[in-house]
Amino acid sequence: MAPTPDWVKQLKPSGPQGYELLAAERARSNIPVEKLQELLLTKEAIERKRRILDILKSEKVFDKSQNYFSGRMERFERALAREKKLQMLKRKHNWTQEEFRTASELIGEPGPYGLHESMFRITIDEQGTPEQREKFGKPAADYKIIGCYAQTELGHGSNVRGLETTATWNPEDKTFTIHSPHLTASKWWIGSLGRTANHACVVAQLMVDGKSYGPHPFIVQIRDTKTHEPLEGIHVGDMFGYNTMDNGFLLFNNVKVPHISMLARFSSVDPNTNKYVRRGSPSLVYGTLTWVRSTIVMQAGAVLARGVTIATRYCAIRRQFQDRDAPEWEKGENAVLNYTMVQIRLLPLLAATFALHFTGKGMMNLYQENQKRMNEKNAGRDGPSKRGAGPEETQSGSDILADLHATSCGLKALSSSTAAEGLEVCRRACGGHGYSSFSGIGPWYSDYLPTTTWEGDNYMLTQQVARYLLKSARSVLANELPINGAFADFVPPPLDTTRILSTFRSRSEIGCAFDILGSDCDIIAAFAWRSSFLTFEALKHRDEEKKPWNDLLVDFYRLSKAHSQYMVVKNFYEALLSPDTTSKIDADTIDVLWKLFRLYSLHTLEQEGSEFYASGACSKHQIMLARTNAVMKLLKEIRPHAVRLVDSWGFDDWLLDSSLGRYDGKVYEDMFYRASELNPLNRVTVDPYPESDVLFRKIEGEVKSKL
Amino acid sequence: MAPTPDWVKQLKPSGPQGYELLAAERARSNIPVEKLQELLLTKEAIERKRRILDILKSEKVFDKSQNYFSGRMERFERALAREKKLQMLKRKHNWTQEEFRTASELIGEPGPYGLHESMFRITIDEQGTPEQREKFGKPAADYKIIGCYAQTELGHGSNVRGLETTATWNPEDKTFTIHSPHLTASKWWIGSLGRTANHACVVAQLMVDGKSYGPHPFIVQIRDTKTHEPLEGIHVGDMFGYNTMDNGFLLFNNVKVPHISMLARFSSVDPNTNKYVRRGSPSLVYGTLTWVRSTIVMQAGAVLARGVTIATRYCAIRRQFQDRDAPEWEKGENAVLNYTMVQIRLLPLLAATFALHFTGKGMMNLYQENQKRMNEKNAGRDGPSKRGAGPEETQSGSDILADLHATSCGLKALSSSTAAEGLEVCRRACGGHGYSSFSGIGPWYSDYLPTTTWEGDNYMLTQQVARYLLKSARSVLANELPINGAFADFVPPPLDTTRILSTFRSRSEIGCAFDILGSDCDIIAAFAWRSSFLTFEALKHRDEEKKPWNDLLVDFYRLSKAHSQYMVVKNFYEALLSPDTTSKIDADTIDVLWKLFRLYSLHTLEQEGSEFYASGACSKHQIMLARTNAVMKLLKEIRPHAVRLVDSWGFDDWLLDSSLGRYDGKVYEDMFYRASELNPLNRVTVDPYPESDVLFRKIEGEVKSKL
């Protein structure tokens, strides 16, 4: 199109300018953004991010300006080029894993090397023998071997036991035959497999002497290391998952692989006896899963914070309809962030970003402490397997791990759902512009959404939480010492889950009376009470009324949600009390964080009102007051700090890649620039008339090469 | 990539095949699919659809196989070609508007001519003088003039009064000057404007002799009809909204247009006196808005039905985890549709598809009857303006219109939110495959989502509903004749809204006792009660406690939702009783529809439990029973009919364009085919190693032209 005329270049947005409005917002609050950011991310991480960001911005290949316009082919081509460059930079600056991860996060798209880094290499390290680490791990570190983790199949997701791919041991030549008996056995959704990987860690059913030993991991070469063409008997390709990554499919037609292919740290086939051998359980892997889920919880806070940052800044700038009471300098239309209907959607989500962050952090700390203690116990042994460790000590250690595992399931489900659904709320809070790719929310939302399904489907997971809570409840009932009806000399046991269940039981005669509007610790107690109530209700349905499991799935889902919400408010509460927080930040800011805690807790409580009421944790009147008084009052109190609070998450504009979320508030200028200057469609003139077959009258620039 | 090897071609999905499973599902129910489909869509519409579908399938340009892979440029190019072909077909077969609309719906993507057809031409017809219909309307019908409707601006959405574009009358040369004073005045999101239109209907603030007369429509030429280049003083382009449509931006630098440009049916500037003249209010336009919203309600049912069809069919085929009680022929994993956690997500949405359909239909009937009566009254006059019509008659007619307008606002908000959020639930119910474009849900979801914002933002609209309900409540209070405290001789007034409010008041002393679990009409009464209760609560806050409007927005939102849900259950209920339904379908099917009615109503009631409880419409125990007994029982009863019920919506596979939703159940075959055969990325082999700058080793077919 013709260059932008001067009269357009001179135009400015009407009324107060975006930068003035955000400046005014920032002047209304004295939240120490830098300090709060350090509390959330640590000084080191902030410094690291800035350093890496400068390097990335200086490389043309990382330019994001065409991301929102390009099609699949361009996106993938560009993503692969970026991954290659990233490896070169890693070597050049010899980055640590953390620095490398930071770089990947800043680029902000899943790339073709993704699963090689995150799953393939780690699996070899964790489940391979020293020999296998040498043979596969080393070249993988140098990207001579590029791998992926091939578990899920076209017909099989969450249920790993149901996988169809087989690995049959051949005693005669000491090999395994990898085979896909059906179309549904095709590996599917496997990141980095479609075009990039030349090896795969294939999870297959191990068959020895006609007997199945369940799924085991095998390292299998799938493409020629020179021509990169698929090897004989292998059908592999891209199944079109992410635009920037080659999620793939993979089928085997009786492919033979050597004995060393089976990762043998925990189990293997003895080539001499041809027998299956087990070397202790991979409890470390079971731990890894828990760890991964804890990271998802913490991540969920940051993921949501991205959307909340964009929506909050834009809603502080966007004006709609008059407000006669507005001060002179902002006469005209009113900032939409001043409308309670917008506040009730955004501010509880803002509170949730902090709640999820502190919860994930709390989980990870607990996990690491426990892992440390268990590893000390197992020092010298091959991995933290449990055999022979002192009973009581390891007992409690693995109890904590079991508790962590169960709660991490529920929290993964709650946090990723909160983040995904929250992002959609943020998008809609931006009105019409929310639907523009330039808002930066939509693309980010669709990339995040699968998190609600992988690492355990959010609905499936709730069954594990329920199963654990029922188990705990049974043991609580078993260990009760009734003293004429009451449980006078009750002593709280170590595990928190057991503690709240016992407390509930011990007070079941007396009942409770929590001052949810006046006392923060009573809020926690109310959430614990409701969770315990639902646990014993479910237990009654299951053990006394003998209801079938399937009929209870909905109850279990609600139970898991209730317990996870208890975990979140509890972790948030404890984080605000811990010296780790109070020592790093001033009293006024802590006070605002407490308001966020109350907003998150009371808003959740009001949403789930009927459960709190049914459990007797709160009165109908308290719940009504929570909504009409407490929550509305908290919205007013938090409103002035909204912009500084999102600033504290410290997202760089380059990362956000959003017109609406710009730190400087130049929302409309940026929207217009992307549309009129960056948009490739504006380089062509069409022939609009139905009669003619001509489509484009004039074709310029890069567009020519495309048509 | 190499052609698919024979051993792959021979592979089939394991276990029972998709077509067997769907056949078994269809054998479990005797819902007469054809008959039910005729009830929903009418025989004529079904026949028309089949006829048009055959024509479209035979035209290569409508082939959808690359839709999910192509980038923006390709999508738009293809979409324009399709629109041109569609016009040619329309002329060739001389299609009626209905036949043309059917064709567009089957193609299923917003196209570059979209707004020319739906808004530009209609606006000229409705708001233009005979002369203007001749000058602009005729060539528009022949696509010599291609137009768009340019109302919203970069800085202004819902609030039309806030538009910045000005049209200033010049007495000296009898012209208007169209001008964009600021960047935020740029027209924005305007469909068909970006590349296609050569004219625009521009909504601008009319200025006459220094005085503003508010927004008015002007027909302005923006591009040369030969070169299609923008005219002098006009900056126009694509702002990147939909992939297949050219949503655009538009700025004017003091562009002069002749007197005839202002659409003058209802108001104009007299060129002799230079005075603004008003010819009656465009109540017809106000009616059009109501009509458009009613269509959105009905449409929402079908939109959601698409997602429910896909998810239900796939969940009937997809197997996960063992079920020992399963019959021999389906041993192995259990169909996920058998899990209550899946049923509770999908079946209430299935019920919602029918609820929304019958509600929209009910609204449209009511609207048409009323419009007919009003038009008769106004026969001979220039449009249905009210002046001089018989008072009482027109009164009630416009009362009904006002009631319809208010309720249509709330229903538009409820139904489009239900559809949009429901589609996301459907996607997630499909597990991992839900995130594949091949599911057909994701792309459809993102195209529908903006409906929650346009034609009135779903949150903004709730204020209009509340305003109307408060007004009605005030008049009810004003007209009460208390007879010693009670309202013994109360006579129900004509308007339903007034009726339920009066009923509530008349019983406020006595209270209520609804048997929601035993009586269907009591369910309706309970919904009416809750809505009335919330209305008088809000009225108290506003009129007695004098709370500021902004503090009540959240209450208003809940009120609007409550009243709209009442409207939906009421319309669903009445539709099932009407001979129009009962005469067309057998008793067994009606019985299943009643179960759907109860599922929708009681599931909604349980979700909103606290409001029903607070209003006194139901006891806590009733609500608890609704969930644990009634709803769970209904899920079991409806489950066997699920597949036939979605079949009744009659979506053709070509329209759905979904692997998961295929009528024949060949889910995995289709997934695999699209991935390995249609996927362009599989035509290239990459160089995966970081060291080399080469990206593609080998480039074949159409891919070559792209790189």
| Amino acid (one-letter) located at B436 | S
Give A-chain residues touching B674 at CB under 8 angstroms: 240
Q: Is B633 on the interface with A (CB under 8 A)?
A: no
Which candidate from A180, A340, A680 shows the least CB-CB separation from B554?
A340
Q: How confident is the model at residue B88 (pLDDT cuts 50, 70, 90)?
A: very high
Residues in contact with A603: Cβ distance below 8 Å, sequence separation at least 6, in sequence order = A348, A351, A631
Q: What confidence category does residue A484 fall into, taking pLDDT thresholds of 50, 70 and 90?
A: very low
In total, the C-beta contacts within 8 angstroms joining chain A to chain B are 357
Beta carbons of A195 and A72 less than 8 angstroms apart: no
For residues B310 and B312, give the distance between their C-alpha atoms in angstroms, rounded to a whole number: 6
Predicted confidence (pLDDT) per residue in B20-59, tens digit: 999 999 999 999 999 999 999 999 999 999 999 999 999 9
Band the pLDDT of A455: cuts 50, 70, 90: confident
Structure confidence by residue, pLDDT tens digits, B92-117? 999 999 999 999 999 999 999 999 98
Cβ burial of A387 (10 Å; 0-12, 13-18, 19+) is exposed
| pLDDT category of residue A386 using cuts at 50, 70 and 90 | very low
Residue in A with minimal Cα distance to B9: A183
pLDDT at site A71: 87
Residues of B in contact with A689 (CB under 8 A): 84, 143-144, 146
Nearest CA in chain A to B248: A675
Tell me what pLDDT residue B484 has.
Answer: 46
Rounded average pLDDT over A13-25: 95
Amino acid at the residue B649: W
Distance CA A326, CA A317 (A): 14
**What tokens were used for A636?**
């007013």
At A227-236, the pLDDT tens digits run: 999 999 999 9
pLDDT band, very low/low/confident/very high, at A513 (cuts 50, 70, 90): confident
Collect all residues of chain B within an 8 Å Cβ-Cβ radius of residue A71.
69-74
A152 is in an annotated binding site: yes
Q: Is B679 in Cβ contact with A112 (below 8 Å)?
A: no
Mean pLDDT of B210-239: 96
Q: Is the pLDDT of residue A527 over 50?
A: yes
Closest residue in B to A554 (Cα) is: B341
Residue with tokens 């270049």: A9
pLDDT band at A334 (very low <50, low <70, confident <90, very high): confident
Average pLDDT over residues A482-498: 60
Residues of B in contact with A81 (CB under 8 A): 695
Burial (CB count <10 Å: 0-12, 13-18, 19+), residue A280:
middle
3-state secondary structure B173-230: CCEEEEECCCHHHCEEEECCCCCCCCEEEEEEEEEECCEEEEEEEEEEECECCCCCCE
Place of tokens 């509890």: A570
Q: Parallel, antiparallel, or unpaired for β A199-208 and A166-170?
A: parallel
Identity at A495, one-letter amino acid code: L
Please state, for a pLDDT cut of 90, what percent of chain B lies above it: 78
Percentage of chain B modeled with pLDDT above 70: 91
Residue type, B422: G
**Can you give the pLDDT at residue B281?**
66
User: Which one is catalytic: A25, A38, A455, A611?
Assistant: A455
The three-class DSSP label of residue A208 is: strand
A101 has a pLDDT exceeding 80: yes
The mean-pLDDT minimum among A664-673, B190-199, B405-414, B478-487 falls in: B478-487
The rounded Cα B519 to chain-centroid distance in angstroms is: 32
Enumerate domains of chain A plus CATH numbers. Answer: 117-278 (2.40.110.10), 289-483+499-647 (1.20.140.10)
Q: Which residues between 179 and 238 in chain B have a beta carbon less than 8 angstroms from any beta carbon of chain A? A: 180-186, 188-189, 194-198, 227-230, 235, 237-238
Look at A195 and B68 and tell me if their CB atoms are within 8 Å: no
CA distance A323 to A331: 8
Task: Indicate if the pLDDT at residue B381 is higher than 80.
Answer: no
Closest CB from A164, A341, A620 relative to B14: A164
Smallest CA-to-CA distance from B423 within B658, B585, B173, B232 is with B658
B191 labeled part of a ligand binding site:
yes
pLDDT in tens, A583-608: 999 999 999 999 999 999 999 999 99
Q: Output B510 or A203, whichever has higher pLDDT.
A: A203
What pLDDT score does A655 carry?
A: 96
| Chain A residues near residue B545 by CB distance under 8 angstroms | none
Q: What pLDDT score does A479 carry?
A: 83
What confidence tier does A371 reach under pLDDT thresholds 50, 70, 90? Answer: confident
Whether the pLDDT of residue B646 is over 80: the answer is yes
Helices (H), A318-339: none
For B:436-495, CB contacts with A below 8 A are 436-438, 442, 446, 449-450, 452-454, 457, 459
Mean residue pLDDT across chain A:
90
**Inter-chain CB proximity A686 and B12 less than 8 Å:** no
Max Cα distance, chain A (Å)? 94
For residue range A677-702, what is the model confidence (pLDDT) as tens digits?
A: 999 999 999 999 998 878 876 544 44
Mean pLDDT of all residues in A346-351: 98
Given CA atoms A64, A66, A69, A70 in this order, what sign does their dihedral have?
negative
The arithmetic mean of pLDDT across residues B183-202, rounded, is 97
A537: tokens are 């209700």
- What is the nearest CA distance from B193 to chain A, expressed in angstroms? 11
Minimum-distance CB partner of A249 among B71, B84, B676: B676
Top pLDDT among B154 and B511 is at B154
Among all residues of chain A, which has the CA nearest to that of B687? A228
Nearby residues of A388 by Cβ (< 8 Å), 6 or more positions away = none
A172 given a catalytic annotation: no
pLDDT confidence tier of residue A387, bands split at 50, 70 and 90: very low
**Range A644-656 average pLDDT:** 97
Q: Reply yes or no on whether the pLDDT at A624 is more than 50.
A: yes
DSSP H or E run through B685: strand B684-686
Say which residues have a Cβ less than 8 Å from residue B79's Cβ, sequence separation at least 6.
Answer: B109, B111, B112, B243, B244, B245
pLDDT single digits (tens) B582-603: 999 999 999 999 999 999 999 9
Got the DSSP string for A532-571? HHHHHHHHIIIIIS---GGGGHHHHHHHHHHHHHHHHHHH
Give the residue on A whose Cα is nearest the Cα of B140: A689
Å from B260 to nearest chain A CA?
A: 25
B511 CA: distance to closest CA in chain A (Å)? 19
The mean-pLDDT minimum among B145-159, B260-274, B312-326 falls in B312-326
pLDDT of B394 strictly over 60: no
Check if the interface score ipTM surpasses 0.95: no
Per-residue pLDDT tens over the stretch A247-263:
999 999 999 999 999 99
Pair A555, A537: CB distance under 8 Å: yes
Interface contact B706-A703, CB threshold 8 A: no
To test the contact with chain A by mutation, choose from B87, B154, B160, B346 the residue with the greatest count of A C-beta atoms within 10 A, namely B154
Catalytic pick among B25, B83, B164, B455: B455
Residue B681 touches chain A, beta carbons under 8 Å: yes
Name every chain A residue with its beta carbon within 8 A of the beta carbon of B459: 341-342
Model confidence at A703, pLDDT cuts 50, 70, 90, reads very low
Is B327:B262 a contact under the CB 8 Å cutoff?
no
- HEC readout, A376-428: HHCCCCCCCCCCCCCHHHHHHHHHHHHHHHHHHHHHHHHHHHHHHHHHHHHHH
Give the per-residue pLDDT at B385.
42
pLDDT tier, A383 (very low <50, low <70, confident <90, very high otherwise): very low
What does DSSP say about strands B187-190 and B149-150: parallel, antiparallel, or unpaired?
Answer: unpaired
CB contact under 8 A, A707 and B251: no
* pLDDT above 80 for A390: no
State the first-to-last Cα distance of chain B, in angstroms, to the nearest integer: 17
User: Rounded CA gap, B341 and B345, in Å?
Assistant: 7
A528-541 average pLDDT score: 97
Q: From the list A88, A143, A551, which residue is nearest B340 (CB)?
A: A551
pLDDT at residue B286, as a whole number: 64
Chain A CB contacts of B143 under 8 Å are 689-690
Q: Does residue B384 carry a pLDDT above 50?
A: no
The b-or-e profile of A454-486 (16+ CB within 10 A means b, else e) is bbbbbbbbbbbbbbbbbebbeebeeeeeeeeee
Residue B697 — very low, low, confident or very high, per pLDDT cuts 50/70/90? low
Position A395 scores a pLDDT of 44
Q: Which of A70, A237, A557 sits opposite B71 (nearest CB)?
A: A70
pTM of the model: 0.92
